[in-house]
Amino acid sequence: MTKPAPSQLPEVNEDAGTSSVSRRTFLRNSGTVTAAASLLASAPRGVHAAADNTIQVALVGCGGRGTGAAANALSVKNGPIKLVAMADVFESKLNPSYDQLVKQFPDQVDATKDRRFIDFDGYKHAMDCLSPGDVVILATPPAFRWPHFTYAIEKGLNVFMEKPVTVDGPSSRKMLELGQQSVAKNMKVGVGLMCRHCAARQELYDRIKGGEIGDILMMRAYRMAGPTGSADTKRMPAGSNELLYQIANFHGFLWASGGAFSDFLIHNIDECCWMKDAWPVEAKACGGRHYRADSVDQNFDTYSVEYTFADGTKLLLNGRTMPGCHDEFASYAHGTKGLAVISTAAHTAAKCRIYRGQKITPKELAWSFPPDEPNPYQLEWDHLIAAIRDDRPYNEVERGVQASLVTAMGRMAAHTGQVITYDDILNSDHEFAPDVAKLAFDSPPPLRSDSEGRYPIPKPGLVTSREY
Amino acid sequence: MPVASFRLSSIPAVFTIAMAIVPVLRGDDPPPLDVPDAVAATEAEMKPYREMISLSEASIDMLPIQGGTFQMGTPEDDPEIEEDDGPQRTVKISPFWMSKFEITWDAYDVWMSDLDVFRRRQENLVASPREQLAEAFQLSQPTKPYTDMTFGMGKRGYPAICMTQHAARTFCRWLSAKTGRFYRLPTEAEWEYACRAGTTTAYSFGDDPEQLDDYAWYEANSEGAYQRVGKKRPNPWGLHDMHGNVAEWVLDQYTEEGYEPSDETLVDPLVIPMTLYPRTVRGGSWDQFADECRSAARDGSDEEWIAQDPQNPVSIWYLTDALHVGFRIVRPLHPPTPEEDAAKWDRSEPVQVERPQAEAGEH
């Protein structure tokens, strides 16, 4: 794969956005991989070592998304694949996840009780159940991504990791370095930015490249809905383990998840940057918390970001988590010749469309992707497993870190009230949870509350070099 | 009310209760909320009134519908007759109020997004006894929609869509608890009686589909989306959008083979639904042809309407692919006793139970 070396990335500026070579290469690969997948069931080869060609999977992080990812993994139809180990810090997550997967895939779940681990180092035990070439799913909150990925590299495993993959500058620098190591070891690594694997968006991308909307002048992205996930976090119940409380409510704490901003907005940011074929070089932003009541999390409930690309093109992003307001969960690209709808309502179905002119009206519809789009959550797994069985280069870490980083750039711009450049966020020295790899059940949490159970919040204009 | 005060984010969904075991309005309940013109003891006293949804700006305009007898279904000699919308039967309907418009997002979102509870929390208000009763029907709905359920078609003043019949029924029970007045979905017979508004023609304005554009949003004029309620002419009894805009849930099971023939006059008939699919929607929609918007035209729900739900098991609240389905509500002049309600109006099977492990997860 002809990716630019990750080590060049700290010097981004103009280069910040030019991952186009790797992107197009990726697209070509994913196309061939898909085509190849159907031929491969009887002809697996390459790095996968298991004698019978069964790919073994371990699930680290058994919440809703991790369980969904495991189900997608077990649904790949190009050869034997089974789930052999699971890990979480919550029994209340692991057990129902196991029960549901057993029910859905009775012949493919072989995570016996001795291979189900409830502990902060459970990820090591789960990965110890695998052989080089098997796959580990890293689906904990992103704070733990880099230590878990470090161990996966040590073990020579292929990896599927959920987005975001980093939450701040220091962890991004670590992950870029780890990504480089994983490429050098020929590890196949998928990142859960599944929209990149969506057939509708891929065709739209080709059409935009083919000039169907002219040059992109401006893009808009929205995720505006009511309170989502654990972002609106209530005060900790008396007597709780504070570390576990923060992990359970990971959307509420920047160290754990990058907050509501990173977890909820990364897909819309990423799909726009994909269509633009570049990463933005700076961000300025507004945001605030209008409704807080007794919530103690670190999030704002409105975010409005202006991202600027190296050529001056803008991406305007709006995020809101207030109930009762106008809802919109969509991305658009405005070009000199027309308008592209990148996504319509959430992630799938994307219902990608192109309109002549700048208005969404049936009369001006120039193209639309046909109904019954394939599910991108499944496609991302079909592509990863096919690459493993066919031993093709397949590594999405760099792109995943870049997407996480430009997301954090917009978040930091809102939380500090300052213009934040790609360099600023990449080289930021505020590591939210430097000791995350050492956490254990009895550890103090990375963020401490005051005597009334409240946590530090961003103070735009007052605290400007860090987010809190 | 032992189950009234759960906060949705703090309890596992396994503790939530099935709707069927929550008691309905009882004699010792707090009095109804006072709104002008909402009280009537006899048919003659029924007036239009505006139902208010407390702790929100939403309201629902209700119109009185006098009782009467009509021929339900499409006449046999009508060339548009479908297998499912005959044979005609004589049906007697008791008086009720019906909402003048389809229920809009403005009202539905108060329930769906717990806006009133949210407001209480922000303003540090104490729940009134009625609001405490109502909580049993809203906070027991722990999963919020995963997607933008307006699908970019508009929200304020637009009809709510994509709800299951169970969600529409639960909205009615919440509204009943909140106001102290008994609301429910219409029966199929009530719906058609109100739609016809005394007419015997294919539409409430006559037989000519060419005139439908004046009365309805349908495939030919909707530009591929629902429209604000009340923008087209009403029917003779003042009801808007009975033809078109969004199809409307009624209580009945759908029967593809049509109605059970009867020589006798049926009084307030209801086919109690005993399977989840198909159940009946009426009135046609923005996405349907003129003949599907006739007063007698029927449609049945289908599992296709939830095909894209990414959750397993699928939601009991949202129909991801029913962008054409909404509802309106009725209030019978003479509300049933709790026993009558449980035996007839509120009865449906299978009982809908929230799935275990429901959580508002991010993907």
Q: Could you tell me the strand order of the sheet in which A116-118 lies?
A: A116-118, A81-88, A55-60, A135-138, A158-161, A189-191
User: How do residues A339-358 score in pLDDT, each as one tens digit?
Assistant: 999 999 888 889 999 999 99
Identify the band that residue A3 occupies on the pLDDT scale cut at 50, 70 and 90: very low
A374 has a chain B CB within 8 A of its CB:
no
User: How do residues A305-352 score in pLDDT, each as one tens digit?
Assistant: 999 999 999 999 999 999 999 999 999 999 999 999 999 988 888 999
Averages of pLDDT over each 10 residues, chain B, 363 residues: 31 36 58 96 98 97 98 93 94 98 96 93 94 86 70 94 96 96 98 98 97 98 95 98 98 95 96 97 97 97 86 82 96 97 96 63 38
- Which of chain B's residues have a Cβ under 8 Å away from the Cβ of A229? 360-362
Q: Which helix (H) or strand (E) holds A188?
A: none
Tell if the CB–CB gap between A64 and B359 is shorter than 8 Å.
yes
Predicted confidence at residue B133, as pLDDT, reads 94
Predicted confidence at residue B141, as pLDDT, reads 58
B102: helix, strand or coil: coil
Predicted confidence at residue A227, as pLDDT, reads 85
B118 has a chain A CB within 8 A of its CB:
yes
CA–chain centroid gap for A216, Å, is: 25
Predicted confidence at residue B312, as pLDDT, reads 62
Predicted confidence at residue A110, as pLDDT, reads 97
Partners of A302 in the β-ladder: A288, A320
Phi and psi for B154 in degrees, rounded to 5? 115, 155
Q: What residues 162-221 of chain B have any CB closer than 8 A to a CB of chain A?
A: none
Q: Given the DSSP bridges, would you call strands A55-60 and A135-138 parallel, antiparallel or unpaired?
A: parallel
Tell if the CB–CB gap between B363 and A347 is shorter than 8 Å.
yes
User: How do residues A161-170 score in pLDDT, each as one tens digit?
Assistant: 999 999 999 9
What average pLDDT does this structure show over A109-132?
A: 98
Q: What residues 331-360 of chain B have any CB closer than 8 A to a CB of chain A?
A: 356-357, 359-360
Q: Could you tell me the strand order of the sheet in which B279-282 lies?
A: B298-300, B279-282, B247-253, B325-326
Residue A235 predicted with pLDDT over 50: yes
Predicted confidence at residue B309, as pLDDT, reads 76
Residue in chain B lying closest to A351 (CA): B151
Mutate to test the interface with A, among B6, B319, B357, B363 (most CBs of A within 10 A): B363
B156 has a chain A CB within 8 A of its CB:
yes
Tell if the CB–CB gap between A324 and B7 is shorter than 8 Å.
no
Q: Is the pTM of this model over 0.80?
A: yes
Q: Which residues contact A119 (CB under 8 A, 6 or more apart)?
A: A87, A89, A125, A441
CA distance B119 to chain A (A): 10
Burial class (CB in 10 A: 0-12, 13-18, 19+), A254: buried
Identify the band that residue A236 occupies on the pLDDT scale cut at 50, 70 and 90: very high
Q: How many residues in chain B?
A: 363
Q: Where are the alpha helices (DSSP H) in A217-287?
A: 242-248, 254-257, 259-276
pLDDT over 70 for what percent of chain A? 89
Partners of B344 in the β-ladder: none
Predicted confidence at residue A44, as pLDDT, reads 37
- Which of chain B's residues have a Cβ under 8 Å away from the Cβ of A324? 109-110, 113, 115, 118
- Which of chain B's residues have a Cβ under 8 Å away from the Cβ of A293? 121-122, 124
What average pLDDT does this structure show over A135-151?
A: 98
B312 has a chain A CB within 8 A of its CB:
yes
Mean pLDDT, rounded, of chain A: 89
Q: Quickly count: other Cβ atoms within 10 Å of residue B187's Cβ.
A: 24
Q: Specify whether the CB–CB gap between A57 and A74 falls below 8 A.
A: yes
Per DSSP, the residues of A283-302 read: EEEEEE-S--TTB--S--SE
Identify the band that residue A297 occupies on the pLDDT scale cut at 50, 70 and 90: very high
Q: Which residues contact A240 (CB under 8 A, 6 or more apart)?
A: none
DSSP 8-state assignment for residue B127: P
Predicted confidence at residue A41, as pLDDT, reads 36
Predicted confidence at residue A33, as pLDDT, reads 37
Tell if the CB–CB gap between A348 and B110 is shorter than 8 Å.
no
Separation between Cα atoms, residue B330 and residue B55, nearest integer Å: 22
Separation between Cα atoms, residue A285 and residue A277, nearest integer Å: 22
Predicted confidence at residue B213, as pLDDT, reads 98
Separation between Cα atoms, residue A269 and residue A273, nearest integer Å: 6
What average pLDDT does this structure show over A220-243?
A: 92
Per DSSP, the residues of A305-331 read: EEEE-TTS-EEEEEEEE-TTS--EEEE
Q: Quickly count: other Cβ atoms within 10 Å of residue B48's Cβ.
A: 13
**Phi-psi label, residue A357: left if phi above 0, alpha if psi -120 to 50, beta otherwise:** left
Residue A20 predicted with pLDDT over 70: no
Residue A417 predicted with pLDDT over 90: yes
Predicted confidence at residue A265, as pLDDT, reads 97
Closest C-alpha among A179, A170, A175 to residue A147: A175
